[in-house]
Structure 1
């Protein structure tokens, strides 16, 4: 005889609460026309019996799929996974998204899409047709791809655009990039640095420009020239190596570098080591992202900790709430924080 527990059904919940099955269904789906005391009785029965609603049944009972779809860049994500570089962007997306979805009885799925592919519209159309998500979260650079945003808008699917401030459909969210770059530069200034270089990200990402602007603004506020102190990379380790070498070749008096992501900044750390520059005695370094790997570099990198999980959680809250009908007029900006470690210190006295 099996000792497995009997699966609790919606009918069991109805009988325990002394209500009809449709009433339980309306409570589960946050439907109207249920008195508060009746809603409380049903929720108490669900809690007591440990009932878990069937996603398939919920989808059949209304016009929702109870799915939130997050779309990330395929090429860059797969490259990071294959090279095992320690980036945790997708992990943080899932942390923020899954927990918030679960609170509302939703599920979150992640799909990888090539934003530059000629067939991106066809690929995305097939994905949303198959899954019929109640909302979509777009991450850079997808969040600024008009093929993607226009397709979702035409289909009436609520969506959130992380890392985008452009006018148009979709909930716009940013992660404090401009202010974080300003704060990182100001921190270097507080430590006495005056020759502060910047390794910027690629132009296709608006956040690259925001970080660059924040650095420049802080330098200008301090009455310092930023001329010749910036090199651009593409977020890869190799591009960071080239950028750091160019910066130090052109500016032998450089005492600080801010990198626009962890991979490029780790490369700058290695370039400093190759040139016998002690970090932070000779050169201070601050990164962006704060992925797990920077805690184990030598020395551990100071970094801007991006609130990815919190930002995705806020996006889910808006998408599940009332969808596009509650789209905020203003950009939602989630502030970032600097985590200071051993890669930053006072400027050399000779500087």
Structure 2
């Protein structure tokens, strides 16, 4: 599969790829490979580059390179996301790009469609747009992807765990992020950690749990399956999962929820049970949406740069739309950097009486 090189532009803060390369002690080409998820880079080198990226707060301004291709271009966002906070972040990112270009943004809502209905909706949409962005959970709809690819419509999945070789993807490294967040809890002294899973049909959800498991394994902590509960990224599912975890005969001292909505629900359940967060129970979320800072205490979480991912997704689409040779697909797996944001919802576990 062809993986084209991607140009890296100066972001508004003035941080350049050369500055990142200098701090990491590598070449600009190596930084480009790490940031764009292209080519083979040693794990130690990748870690060094990502540390420099986080320290300098560097993000490529990708959409600016494709302004000319944006004119008179219709790009569709199809959504059926249960997390309102996540959807708001995504829409803000897309609207910012659309306001700077001539892109016509088409919003399509697919509510609880079965596979056949998704195929019909995709066929109809393909007749009136030039490109499609699929956020979770539609980013892994085989029915929709198959129809759009068959219609030769460029598609970019946002926040997928890279489930398909038929479409491009803009994502974070969910495995590494999940592992880092679990390690943060373990470093605080937690050994009994509850986990609330995300949707079972999303590979990104599975990768977060795999990262959690890897952190436990490396710390020599056995996974207790009774402390793993299924959620679906909604606040309500987080309430149910947290109730089950905290009703356990030996409840966890910390809860890792696979998104901020479910983590906020876990804090609500803890308060209802008279528990202090983080003195009696630590809670972490994932995504760093507005939900992370509208609860008390504010959530420790993984910052997924959703608005920047939307920016990158449009850039990938425009590059494909303006290609003269549409007989072959050029796919990109673009991995953007994440950050662990430490706030007030985590502390050392309570001492046993």
Q: Is TM-score (shorter-chain normalized) higher than 0.5? A: yes
- Cα distance per residue 1:272-324 (max 9 Å; x no partner): 12222211111111011322233132222222222111111111111112347
Equivalent pair of 1:177/1:210 in contact (CA under 8 Å)? yes
Query: What residue is the counterpart of 2:96 in the other structure?
Result: 99
Cα distance change on mapping 1:257 and 1:95 into 2, 3 Å: same
Partners of 2:222 and 2:113 in 1: how far apart?
Answer: 36
TM, length-normalised to structure 1:
0.72
Cα distance change on mapping 1:328 and 1:349 into 2, 3 Å: farther
Equivalent pair of 2:264/2:291 in contact (CA under 8 Å)? no
SS at the partner of 1:68? strand
After TM superposition, give the deviation of residue 266 of structure 1 in Å: 1.8
1:318 aligns with 2:316: yes
Q: Which has the higher contact order (CA 8 A, sep 6+)?
A: 2
Cα distance change on mapping 1:197 and 1:308 into 2, 3 Å: same
Partners of 1:287 and 1:251 in 2: how far apart?
Answer: 24
Tell me, which stretches of 5 or more residues in structure 2 are unaligned?
A: 1-67
Query: What residue is the counterpart of 2:339 in the other structure?
Result: 337
Selected match of 2:73 from 66, 72, 77: 66
After TM superposition, give the deviation of residue 215 of structure 1 in Å: 0.6
TM, length-normalised to structure 2:
0.72
Cα distance change on mapping 1:236 and 1:92 into 2, 3 Å: closer
Equivalent pair of 1:134/1:320 in contact (CA under 8 Å)? no
Bigger drift between 222-231 and 327-336 goes to 327-336
Instruction: For 1:140-179, list aligned pairs within 5 A.
Output: 140-162=136-158, 163-179=160-176
Cα distance change on mapping 1:63 and 1:232 into 2, 3 Å: closer
Partners of 1:222 and 1:251 in 2: how far apart?
Answer: 24
Instruction: For 1:201-216, list aligned pairs within 5 A.
Output: 201-216=198-213
Partners of 1:138 and 1:239 in 2: how far apart?
Answer: 23
SS at the partner of 2:136? coil
SS at the partner of 1:203? coil
Selected match of 2:285 from 284, 287, 297: 287
Partners of 1:209 and 1:182 in 2: how far apart?
Answer: 12
Cα distance change on mapping 1:322 and 1:342 into 2, 3 Å: same
SS at the partner of 1:231? strand
Q: Which has the larger radius of gyration?
A: 1
Partners of 1:101 and 1:296 in 2: how far apart?
Answer: 28
Equivalent pair of 1:134/1:158 in contact (CA under 8 Å)? yes
Instruction: For 1:28-107, list aligned pairs within 5 A.
Output: 65-73=72-80, 76=81, 87-107=84-104
Query: What residue is the counterpart of 2:224 in the other structure?
Result: 227
Tell me, which stretches of 5 or more residues in structure 1 are unaligned?
A: 1-57, 81-86
After TM superposition, give the deviation of residue 231 of structure 1 in Å: 0.8
SS at the partner of 1:105? coil
Equivalent pair of 1:175/1:308 in contact (CA under 8 Å)? no
Query: What residue is the counterpart of 2:18 in the other structure?
Result: none
1:305 aligns with 2:306: no
Provide the alpha-carbon RMSD of the alignment.
2.6
Query: What residue is the counterpart of 1:8 in the other structure?
Result: none
Selected match of 2:243 from 224, 242, 245: 245
Equivalent pair of 1:195/1:255 in contact (CA under 8 Å)? yes
Partners of 1:102 and 1:205 in 2: how far apart?
Answer: 31
SS at the partner of 2:222? coil
Partners of 2:171 and 2:291 in 1: how far apart?
Answer: 24
Equivalent pair of 1:135/1:319 in contact (CA under 8 Å)? yes
Matched positions, count = 279
- Cα distance per residue 1:230-252 (max 9 Å; x no partner): 11112222322221122233352
- Cα distance per residue 1:49-86 (max 9 Å; x no partner): xxxxxxxxx9xxx998411111111xx45xx6xxxxxx
